[in-house]
């Protein structure tokens, strides 16, 4: 109820999305459905919307299960608009914009790289990971175990989840920021989705502050991203101190903190300044302390409980969203250039976060355009061409949300 406080046109209901009858009853009462629930449930919402001929908007990637309703949506005469937040969403709008401009000039996109990150504003990045949670820490960490694919110099690079953090590299955007980035999910469909078959490098990736990937990689090697049940971490188990759990995780007996540090460095294969920083961060989290862990059943969930204790946004803190596209361009006369599109947005202390704004406003604009009859494409769609994108871009920029384009010849 707190989410609708001060919004007289909003009303709250309790709804189990797995209850088809209740879901259909709710969908039938409205002109359009904005589905911001976990993406695995969108297909169920779309099914109900097709039956009752109601439009749908989501900010999620189009999954195969959602795409199965494309023809049903067309037959019902409805629009199921997806991928219209920030990433995906704003990123698509400005990628397509620049690609269309280059193609109109007869040029080719030889490379496309795009990195986006939702992060604490610099003054709020005051922990060893340089990261804070505004949603499930479990979801954030599980995403770090996913495989990734991208195209580099004409070859498909397949990165197994355990190696993802090792693929991170420095991403220079503004001198004031120290960013590192790593590929996110599967970038290989974007030669086709973005109409750039000529591109030899296509990478869509995630931005984090420098040091994050190596810290996470150490946690992976120490076993803290494992989500299988551990008997001594179930709720009924005896209390266990963090330093003893850490020792058990790496197969040693705790004797002294110094000895445990040495064992951690060996297991995580860290040394020098990196080791000093990572050990400091683990101590900051309490992993060498006598504090009892939160018994959550698995190593991953036990770690998450501590992260959520120590790394949530505090009142008055603000977040930021950083997004940059980088295009390699070549023209028939041999001229080459680099084009960039850059967006940087900050949240309002005790107000709307940057993430809420950059996800919510594009979603709201797409919703309004459908209701106004200005977005007429039917079926399960995403913002992949100017017919869909240009009206959204125009409205988005009118709201003060835009990316800055630059050409470096």
Residue with tokens 């046109």: 9
Answer whether 185's CB lies under 8 Å from 145's CB.
no
Query: What's the rounded Cα separation, in Å, for the pair 60 and 49?
Result: 17
- Lookup: tokens for 154: 């004409």
Answer whether 132's CB lies under 8 Å from 317's CB.
yes
Ramachandran bin of 324, using left for φ above 0, alpha for ψ from -120 to 50, beta for the remaining angles: beta
Q: In 3D, which of 94, 98, 86, 66 has the Cα closest to residue 381? A: 66
Rg (the chain; Cα; Å): 23
310 DSSP assignment: H
> Which ranges in 173-227 belong to alpha helices (H)?
190-193, 212-221
DSSP SS3 for 128: coil
The total of other beta-carbon atoms located within 10 Å of residue 337's CB is 14
Choosing from 87, 91, 301, 319, which is the catalytic residue? 87
Residue with tokens 């200005």: 374
Answer whether 86's CB lies under 8 Å from 358's CB.
yes
Active site residue 273: no
Answer whether 101's CB lies under 8 Å from 329's CB.
no
Residues 6+ apart with CB under 8 A from 311: 127, 129, 131, 132, 133, 137
Residues 6+ apart with CB under 8 A from 175: none
Residues 6+ apart with CB under 8 A from 207: 115, 116, 117, 119, 171, 179, 180, 181, 322
Beta bridge partners of 79: 379
Three-class DSSP labels, 258-269 = HHHHHHHHHHHC
Pairing between β-strand 336-346 and β-strand 319-330 as defined by DSSP bridges: antiparallel
Q: In 3D, which of 292, 407, 272, 263 has the Cα closest to residue 339? A: 407
For the annotated catalytic residues, the residue numbers are: 87
């Amino acid at each position: 109820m707190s989410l609708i406080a001060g919004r007289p046109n909003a009303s709250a209901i309790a709804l189990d999305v797995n209850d088809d009858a209740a879901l259909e009853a709710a969908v039938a009462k409205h002109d359009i459905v904005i589905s911001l629930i976990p993406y695995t449930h969108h297909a169920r919402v779309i099914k109900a919307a097709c039956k009752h001929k109601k439009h749908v908007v989501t900010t999620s990637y189009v999954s195969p299960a959602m795409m199965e309703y494309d023809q049903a949506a067309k037959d019902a005469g409805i629009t199921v608009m997806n991928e219209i937040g920030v990433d995906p969403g704003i990123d698509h709008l400005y990628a397509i914009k620049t690609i269309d401009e280059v193609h109109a000039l007869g040029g080719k996109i030889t490379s496309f790289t795009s990195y986006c990150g939702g992060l604490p504003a610099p003054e709020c990045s005051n922990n060893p990971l340089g990261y804070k949670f505004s949603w499930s820490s479990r979801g954030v960490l599980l995403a770090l175990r996913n495989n990734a694919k991208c195209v580099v110099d004409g070859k498909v690079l397949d990165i197994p989840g355990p190696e993802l953090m090792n693929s991170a590299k420095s991403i220079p955007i503004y001198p004031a920021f120290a960013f590192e980035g790593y590929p996110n999910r599967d970038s290989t469909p974007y030669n086709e989705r973005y109409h750039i078959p000529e591109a030899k490098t296509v990478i869509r990736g995630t931005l984090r502050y420098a040091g994050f990937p190596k810290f996470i990689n150490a946690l992976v090697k120490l076993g803290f991203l494992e989500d299988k049940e551990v008997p001594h971490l179930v709720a009924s188990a005896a209390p266990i101190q963090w330093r003893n759990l850490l020792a058990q995780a790496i197969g040693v007996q705790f004797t002294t903190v110094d000895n445990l540090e040495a064992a951690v460095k060996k297991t995580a294969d860290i040394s020098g300044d990196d080791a000093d920083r990572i050990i400091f961060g683990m101590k900051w989290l309490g992993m060498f302390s006598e504090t009892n862990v939160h018994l959550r059943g698995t190593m991953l969930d036990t770690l998450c409980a501590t992260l959520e204790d120590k790394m949530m946004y505090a009142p008055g803190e603000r977040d930021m969203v950083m997004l940059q596209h980088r295009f390699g361009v070549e023209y028939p006369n041999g001229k080459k250039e680099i084009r960039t599109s850059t967006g940087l947005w900050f949240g309002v202390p005790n107000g709307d976060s940057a993430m809420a704004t950059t996800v919510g406003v594009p979603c709201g604009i797409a919703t309004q355009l459908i209701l106004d009859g200005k977005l007429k494409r039917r079926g399960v769609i995403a913002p992949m061409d100017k017919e869909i994108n240009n009206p959204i871009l125009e409205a988005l920029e009118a709201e003060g949300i835009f990316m800055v384009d630059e050409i470096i010849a």
